């Protein structure tokens, strides 16, 4: 091995160590919830359905409850408001779907579903609003098959996927924090 190659390898190793050690402070793990420490029980009462779409409120309520249980770091979930430290209130304001891609015969094959909701999270202990979004919009797509023998209504699974996506986003906001600072 020549001297220039050894110097080049040593310089590359030095650069690697220098870069790796310089960024060690950039990563900060999430160690606590964005919710105040006194919140242990979250009530998720049934969402209101202003969209007049069959059972859509129960799908969204169930999705939010399940996501809090899955990612809530020990939070208990209940449907009753009484005895809860925080309450997640939701209203499904509108539900719509429209064709966005046509096939060769002019029939819609891909539909876009849009759901507009309102969500408010209240701290029952300190009597304040922790989060309020009155224009929570979610969109997703579903596709119909060309083969009528294998056709089934894809709308219901699309709504389920949207409900899960909605719940993941909402619970991420709650768990990872949204600027709630607890007073000492």
Which domains does the chain possess?
A: 33-171 (3.30.160.150)
Three-class DSSP category at 58: helix
Give CA–CA dist 86/159, Å, rounded.
27
Indicate if the pLDDT at residue 74 is higher than 50: yes
pLDDT digits (tens, 9 = 90+) for 92-135: 999 887 777 777 776 667 777 788 999 999 999 999 999 899 99
φ, ψ at 38 (rounded to 5°) = -75, -5
Beta bridge partners of 77: 42
* More confident call, 32 vs 121: 121
Question: What is the DSSP pairing of strand 76-78 with strand 108-123?
Answer: unpaired
Q: Which residue in 114, 113, 131, 118 sits closest to 92, CA to CA?
A: 118
What is the distance between the alpha carbons of residues 109 and 101, in angstroms, rounded to a whole number? 6
E-assigned strand segments in 30-107: 41-43, 48-49, 76-78, 86-102
């Amino acid at each position: 091995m020549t001297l220039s190659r050894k110097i080049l390898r040593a310089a590359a190793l030095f650069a690697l160590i220098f870069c790796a050690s310089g960024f060690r402070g950039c990563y900060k793990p999430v160690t606590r919830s964005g919710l105040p420490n006194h919140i242990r029980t979250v009530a998720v009462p049934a969402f209101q359905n202003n969209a007049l779409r069959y059972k859509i409120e129960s799908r969204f309520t169930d999705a939010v409850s399940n996501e809090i249980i899955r990612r809530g770091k020990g939070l208990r979930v209940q449907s009753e408001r009484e005895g809860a430290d925080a309450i997640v209130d939701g209203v499904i304001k509108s539900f719509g779907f429209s064709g966005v891609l046509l096939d060769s015969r002019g029939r819609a094959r891909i539909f876009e579903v849009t759901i507009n909701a309102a969500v408010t999270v209240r701290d029952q202990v300190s009597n304040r609003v922790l989060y309020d979004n009155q224009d929570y919009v979610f969109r997703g797509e579903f596709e119909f098959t060309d083969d009528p023998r294998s056709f089934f209504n894809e709308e219901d699974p699309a709504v389920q996927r949207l409900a899960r996506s909605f719940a993941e986003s909402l619970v991420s906001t709650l768990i990872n924090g949204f600027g709630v600072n607890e007073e000492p």
